[in-house]
Structure 1
């Protein structure tokens, strides 16, 4: 079954163009033109990826992105006319996976979709992916840092590997301690602060392998894996 893409765009001509190219690439397409429909369709359809315009009737795309991030881990590519670094960084920090500025080449947008889905899904038949210099092989349960001097494997405990893999699936997203704990040890009675210990050790091991500053604390939230 092909992946379903939800296109959230209020300009009919742009939405038609995007839909035509996305369908031609082999994906199923759903469309929404305002905040209310976008949130309803996302909850009902559970798309594999969302192309999301920022300027929408009834609100804006940042509001939709924020709600999506509270619900599910759906990949989101922002599509907007705002070539504004502040808006771009704000969207990425909330959890957008990529950012396309109008006017755009629709073929490029399709390639962005493919790239994000490959990263999130690990590619057909593959369970390995990279985030910057960090490479994670889920089947072999190996994480390594690839730098100019070569590849260095990270000496991780099973829990540390699970935490790193969980965060790396959604780079740039800020996770609360409770979210991380629930993802890697849902039946554990450990306190959220145990996550701080795991993250502290992870950051030390990443730094020793040459991937320093990949995990950063987010004040008032928790932690984020950020590939510069």
Structure 2
């Protein structure tokens, strides 16, 4: 199904139905630019084009999940982290091990600078793939900061800690997505692949397409 999105390569702009997307505010505004030469694009392709302009506001996207993660959960988190970096999305996570470490590994491999919001008092507690460690010293209470700060939260597996972040995300009216065997929560969309998660994230950024 068409999203109505079109990319104007000459001016590196995303347009749709007489509107133009402002990558700094993540919003649409009226625009009378001649759309001749524009090409239809998917939401994920549009996001990648916008990222290449270096103008896309990098509001954090969170990947959350257990420290004691399965191999499957880590593989999904690493794949999603890599795809996020490739599409200009900023990763924010808890900065520790398991799903968080896998997500950071993928994001770093994709050219991103993953941010780890640590429960610990010192930055050295971060996993080795965190580029920007932020030591909060507030323990599990940092979950609320992650949920508040992120535009979207993606849970990859998880237990009680992940469940709390998912619930906080919903309370803060964030889009919350679930992969693998993440806790079942009303209002959380369950997806079957990192590609599906990326498509939902892209659509949300571009106006819930």
**TM-score range with shorter-chain normalisation?**
0.3 to 0.5
Q: More relative contact order in 1 or in 2 (CA 8 Å, sep 6+)?
A: 2
Normalised TM-score (structure 1): 0.31
Report which of the two has the higher share of helix.
1
